[in-house]
Amino acid sequence: MERFGLSLGASFDRLALVFDHAGIETRHFAMPFEWFQTDRGLAERNECYVREGLALAERVATECLARAGITAAEVDHIVVASTTGLSAPSLEAHLVNRLGLRSTANRTPLWGLGCAGGVAGLARAVAFTRADPEALVLFIALELCSLTFQQEDYSRSNFIASSLFSDGAAAVLVAGDGALRNGAHGPLGEAGGVSLRFDGAQGHLWPDSTDVMGWEINDDGLKVLFSSEIPKIVHDRVRPTLEAFLAPFDLTPSTVDHYAIHPGGPRVMTAYRDGVGVPDAALGPARAVLREFGNMSSPTCLFVLERVLEAGVKPGERILVAALGPGFAAEYLLVSAIAR
């Protein structure tokens, strides 16, 4: 693997198997391949994160607003979830200027949620519309995971992360009930002639699990922390928390109509199937997104949700959006399809 500057001898053959088993055919990176062939420090990586991340966030936000028929000046609140870099002023402050939001628009940055940020951030955006039913909330999930790859880190965790993670962003416009009565609508749900109604959301933080997943910040940047126990945790411990969330809706893992699950990796999806009880066919959209885009961290579940809608969802059917992240934590969100 000379292209990554590694010389590991026989141990490389064992570590490199994770690339063969990742189930990924294509990934997208913010920077060209040549950029990664030179060692980069934290400052240079983070400068790239802010520059390229803002450009990507602006692009997806502009596309989202155009699809919804909403101008930036009509947005009341902007929420940005991102964990692969640092920025102060925070990213959404820059985006207020770049997108043309009102100077009085509310701003909420979410950092540290990792892969769970897409679900948690969407739930927070909905909560803001519950507090202000007239509000339009723009939610953006943005990650440039490739900027965290560290050449001199030969750990299994870094190899797994390097084989799975990629860059991406997604944007969602969430409209309160009052805003909907005034004619606003969001892009999620345009596919298949349905819109999505929020039913409920819940997070679950497992005690004493902060060493399962996260970052260690060193002079080179963000060093990935990735426990090999994650698939086992999903297999053994997720189902009771999911059952508790679904019970008030008279649902079980096997009776949910559709799943928009953050795929994580192949072993995590197997754990969802065998340990949690998610039907294998329901994992098709997650597998497709992983295969075509890799693990983009927080935006990934929103890509999966869009794929579910494109495949066809009938009014009255329910979709569970779920992801796992640092903490170690699970985030669940349930939506219903309604006719437009």
pLDDT per position as a tens digit, 5-44: 344 444 555 555 665 566 778 889 999 988 988 888 889 9
Two domains, one topology: 2-181 and 191-339 = yes
Question: Looking at residue 74, what is its pLDDT?
Answer: 94
| Superfamily of chain region 2-181 | Thiolase/Chalcone synthase (3.40.47.10)
Question: Looking at residue 22, what is its pLDDT?
Answer: 61
Question: Looking at residue 161, what is its pLDDT?
Answer: 73
211 touches 227 (CB < 8 A) = yes
Catalytic, out of 48, 115, 145, 301 = 115
Question: Looking at residue 180, what is its pLDDT?
Answer: 63
| Superfamily of chain region 191-339 | Thiolase/Chalcone synthase (3.40.47.10)
Question: Looking at residue 188, what is its pLDDT?
Answer: 43
Question: Looking at residue 264, what is its pLDDT?
Answer: 85
- 10-residue stretch averages of pLDDT, the chain, 340 residues long: 38 56 80 87 92 97 93 96 94 96 97 95 95 95 90 71 88 86 48 78 93 82 80 92 97 95 90 92 94 94 95 93 94 90
pLDDT per position as a tens digit, 236-265: 999 999 999 999 999 999 999 999 999 988
The domains of the chain are located at 2-181, 191-339
Question: Looking at residue 207, what is its pLDDT?
Answer: 93
Question: Looking at residue 9, what is its pLDDT?
Answer: 44
115 is catalytic: yes
Question: Looking at residue 149, what is its pLDDT?
Answer: 85
Question: Looking at residue 16, what is its pLDDT?
Answer: 57
